[in-house]
Amino acid sequence: MGGILRIYRNDWRNLFRVPVAVLLVAALVVLPSVYDWVNVASVWDPYSNTSGIKIAVTSLDEGTKVQEKDFNIGNEVMESLRSNKNLGWTFVDAETAHNGVKRGDYYASIVIPANFSKRMTGILDGTIVKPEIEYTVNEKINAIAPKITDKGATSITTQISENFTETISETVFTVLSQIDKEFQSELPIIRKVEKGLFKLEASLPEIETAGKRVLKIQENWPQIHASAERISTLENKLPEVEKAGEALEKIAEHWPQIASTLDHLGGLQDKLPKIEEAAQLIVQLDNHYGEVEQIMAQASQGLTEAHKIVNAALTALPEAEKIASAGNDFVLELQQFLEKSSAAFEAVPAAIKQNLNLLQQTENSVVKLAEQLKGEDNEPQAVREQLEVLSAQLAAGSSVIEHTLSILNALNTFSPETVSIAEIAALKGVDSVLNSQKSLVNAMITDLQNKEDADSSAINELFLKSGLGKLAIAKLISGYDSSTIPAIKNTLEQITSAADVTATALQQVPDRLPALGTLLEETMSAIEFGQTSLASLQQDLPAIREAIHTAASGVADQTQGFGAFIRDTLPLLESSLPTAGEKIQQAANFVRQDLPTVEERVHQVSELIRTGLPRADKGVALAADLVRNDLPVLEDSIRKAASTIRQIKEEIDLGEIAQLLGGDIKSKSDFLANPVVLKENKLYPIPNYGSAMTPFYVVLSLWVGGTLLVSLLRTGVDTGGLTYKRYQLYFGRLLTFLTVGILQGLVAVLGNIFILHCYVVNKVWFVLFGVLISIVFVTIVFTLVAVFGNLGKGIAIVFMVLQFSSSGGTFPISTTGRFFQILNPYMPFTYAISLMREAVGGILPEVAIRDVIYLIIFGVLALLLALLLKKPLEPFIHKASEQAEESKLIS
């Protein structure tokens, strides 16, 4: 705190040492207020000076005659305007008016045409054509003037209409008043008797019809009584109706699924032959399943024999290696070894083919599981178990590829290019795909341990890679029988053929015996892997047989019935499906929307029947008796009375009924001319426009004052060799700026009160609010420049422009564009202007407290901005300032 105060004291000590600086600060204090005072004075009371707005007025009205009297409304209008000082009415000819408005000599012109009076009085002879007044306005001259001239033109037309209405109505009421004096006493009798009897006479046919209906009701009363009892029975059935309605709502709720199911079934029509063919295959598979088991047994036995043969060859191989190293009887012994091992070598192609088939089965499993995972409603635990099995299969597949590559490399040792480099590379590519799939599957297993569902991107990637692996293995298998097997067999025949063993070749054999051993060992591994896989499959054969047998049992009958349904029944269902769905939805809507109301009304009617039916019995009997005995006499009396009234009306002029309009003629005619009186109540009245605009210009001038401060005074501190913390530098100089800002606020508000004599209800609060607003504004502007440097000055100006348009200071914010309405709640001007208006017009505590809180929040936000961003942004701002100074134009 001491450092802050030291900077503050030094600022003012340094300031008062330089007289020019004192004058400059004094100017900074006064200048914003001058801006405020000049603007307020210029708009002090603009609407009291509208007499300077010139409007050219011309009357071309030729007048007319009414009952032999000259009548010229145009001249009357001209005379009334000569005494009207609200606007600058200027009386000229039509050409001068037209040219003057065009040049801007007049803001607008009003021309009363020649036929104005004639059209105005045309209603008296039945010619109804609305008269027109030509009003021309030059909207280019000024934005506000057209609004004022519009009101002037409207006032003329209103005045003419009111005067005309008053004159006409006064004439009419005068005539009617004379009639009223002669026949006033007779009108009540005529009105009551005529209206009542004629209306009753007109209703006699309906009364007679109603009487006949009463007699018909009495005749059918037993049936009505029985029907009423049925309603009570219906009330007892309502619970059953409600249950049926609930069932109908459930059908409607699931109708989309039903319709979707039928759509899917419709798609099976084209596939029905294949379905039936598949059913036949299931039956055939069940019938020949014993052959499958026999083939599996034979394959297992073949693998066992191959295992023995290869094992025997491996057992004899060490002996051949000893002979080769000793050199004793090498040729004879080697030939015997190769002849004995020929059966083992013959197992090599089959072992490789078996490995490739097992790899294909593994990839099929990957594809199947990936397709399953892309579907919905997968149980996480079951998916994880399947993934774990698949991971083990992929690991085994990698092992198979490793053994197969060893076999192929061993064969190439005896005869290079037995298997091409491309084929080996393709097999390695499959191995890479399997390893990638295994890593992806293991990652998915880990994900399922941590969350409920597998990642969709991982599922899509697995689906893609499964397809690639399947294609690669299919390509290997497709070329294996045609090219790879003949090459392998040819190499094996070279190995086992004793006749081709020359002396030169025999010298190379000892070097190739390790490769021969590798070939036999890897073949052994492949056979063992096949045995394991085949044994696992044989264990599953009984369960598979049972499943196939279960499926085959009755499949023919079921398929036949399903086919009949698809061919015959389904088309009928599809044709009636839209109509049925629409009717079900209509019925369901009735159940949901109308059934409760129907039930309520049934209960009401039932209750009415129980309580009101006995009384209705008596009422019907009385009404029937009245219809039979009294109604004819009543009808005859009504007709006689109506005939008497008509005879009276024939002797009297119907126009005499207008006597009802007699009375005070002046009051009634004035009422017709001006039927509505506007009762105006002013809340928080402000006597002049300048005082009403004071809040806006005070707030604007205080922001301008803050902007001038940061433009002319430095926000940085000359430390004089002392060390200060950043916040001390910030707050020390901020106090100096706030002192000047407070002086600006005081000068502005006090000048408005004592110099311009602005209307202010709460003068003390007006001063305090002005000081608060100046403090907040100076804090915001100073912070922007302290944090962002020269860029902050630009931000302050942009901020001022946005607030000028979005604060509602001049026009209501609701009249501005959507963008400015959105900005309004976030602008300090909004709450500053509102707060000053409270002091000018009268304080409403909740509004004033709200505005003060928001202004304090804006100030606090500015302080937080400085404390949080000044340090991290300082290097960047400093560098930007140095670069700007290099331009020799920007300081």
Per residue in 477-522, pLDDT (tens digit) is: 776 666 667 766 666 666 655 434 444 444 455 555 565 566 566 6
Rounded-to-integer distance, Cα 180 and Cα 295, Å: 127
What CA–CA distances, in Å, run from 163 to 84, 156, 670?
A: 16, 11, 9
Query: 134-137 and 108-112: which strand pairing?
Result: antiparallel
Which percentage of the chain shows pLDDT scores above 90? 13
Instruction: Count Cβ atoms within 10 A of the Cβ of residue 473 and give its class: 0-12 exposed, 13-18 middle, 19 or more buried.
Output: buried
What pTM value is reported for the model?
A: 0.45
- Residue 91: closest CA among 126, 140, 63, 57: 57
Report the share of the chain in percent with pLDDT over 70: 53
Tell me the mean pLDDT in the region 254-282. Answer: 59
Helix residue spans in 116-144 (DSSP H): 116-120
- How many whole angstroms separate alpha carbon 418 and alpha carbon 428? 17
Within 13 A of 887's CA, how many CA atoms are on the CB side? 7
Q: How far apart are the first and last CA of the chain?
A: 31
Top pLDDT among 631 and 834 is at 834
Neighbour tally for 792: CB within 10 Å: 20
Considering 326-335, 367-376, 680-689, the range whose residues carry the highest mean pLDDT is: 680-689
Whether the predicted pLDDT of 114 surpasses 50: yes
Averaged pLDDT, 231-259:
65
Q: What is the pLDDT of residue 398?
A: 79
Q: What Cα–Cα distance (Å) separates residue 147 from each residue in 50, 107, 260, 612, 815?
A: 12, 11, 66, 69, 16
pLDDT greater at residue 345 or residue 688? 688
- pLDDT tens across 704-722, in order? 999 999 888 887 777 666 7
By residue count, the chain amounts to: 891
Query: What does the block give as tokens for 774?
Result: 């100046």
Q: Is the pLDDT assigned to residue 100 strictly greater than 80?
A: yes
Q: When comparing pLDDT for 359 and 845, which is higher?
A: 845
The per-residue pLDDT for 135 is: 82
Mean pLDDT of 767-789: 93
Measure the CA–CA gap between 157 and 130, rounded to whole angstroms.
12
Highest mean pLDDT pick, 493-502, 558-567, 735-744, 794-803: 735-744
Rounded distance between C-alpha atoms, residue 837 and residue 693, angstroms: 9
Of the ranges 9-18, 136-145, 545-554, 655-664, which one carries the lowest mean pLDDT score? Answer: 655-664
> Mind listing the pLDDT tens digit for each residue in 532-585?
666 665 665 566 566 556 655 555 555 655 566 556 655 655 565 567 666 666
**Whole-angstrom Cα distance, residue 119 to residue 779?**
69
Question: What band does 851 get if pLDDT is binned at 50, 70 and 90?
Answer: very high
Question: Of 264-268, 292-296, 328-332, 651-655, which one has max mean pLDDT?
Answer: 292-296
pLDDT band at 433 (very low <50, low <70, confident <90, very high): confident
Local confidence band at 177 (pLDDT 50, 70, 90 cut-offs): low
Q: Mind listing the pLDDT tens digit for each residue in 32-80?
A: 999 899 989 888 877 666 777 788 899 888 888 876 778 788 888 888 8
Question: Residue 859: is its pLDDT beyond 80?
Answer: yes
**pLDDT band at residue 442 using 50, 70 and 90 as cut-offs:** confident
The pLDDT value given to residue 178:
52
Under the banding of pLDDT at 50, 70 and 90, the label for residue 30 is very high
Query: Of the ranges 63-77, 95-109, 117-131, 303-317, which is most confident?
Result: 95-109
Instruction: State the Cα angle at 190 between 186 and 193, rounded to 5°.
Output: 140
d(CA 49, CA 138): 19
**Is pLDDT at 525 greater than 80 in this prediction?**
no
Residue pair 38/51 in contact by the 8 Å Cβ criterion: no
Cβ neighbours, 10 Å, residue 698? 31
Burial status of residue 193 (CB atoms within 10 A of its CB: 0-12, 13-18, 19 or more) = middle
Is it the case that residue 854 has pLDDT exceeding 90?
A: yes
Instruction: Give pLDDT, residue 552.
Output: 57
CA distance 473 to 456: 26
From the list 661, 675, 749, the residue with the least C-alpha distance to 705 is 749
Q: What is the pLDDT of residues 212-229, one digit of tens each?
A: 776 777 676 677 666 666
Number of H helices, E strands in the chain: 31, 6
Q: Is the pLDDT of residue 833 over 90?
A: yes
In the numeric block, which tokens belong to residue 619?
């009422």
Top pLDDT among 641 and 705 is at: 705
Give the pLDDT mean for 354-362: 75
CA 275/CA 199 separation, integer angstroms: 83
Helix (H) or strand (E) holding 55: strand 54-59
Q: What is the pLDDT of residues 750-764, one digit of tens each?
A: 999 999 999 999 999
Q: Is the pLDDT of residue 352 over 60?
A: yes
pLDDT of 328: 42
Confidence of residue 667 (pLDDT cuts 50, 70, 90): low
Specify whether the CB–CB gap between 544 and 278 falls below 8 A: no
pLDDT in the model for residue 707 = 92
Confidence class of residue 185 from pLDDT cuts 50, 70 and 90?
low
- Give dist(CA 484, CA 495) in Å, integer: 17
Measured distance CA(728)–CA(792) in Å, rounded: 20
Most confident by average pLDDT, 303-307, 399-403, 576-580, 823-827 = 823-827
Q: What's the pLDDT score for residue 327?
A: 45
Average pLDDT score, the chain: 73
CB 701 within 8 A of CB 33: yes
Q: Measure the CA–CA gap between 223 and 233, rounded to whole angstroms.
A: 15
Which of 112-126, 339-353, 784-798 is predicted least confidently?
339-353
The label of the residue with tokens 């409607």 reads: 252
* Mean pLDDT to the nearest integer, 1-18: 83
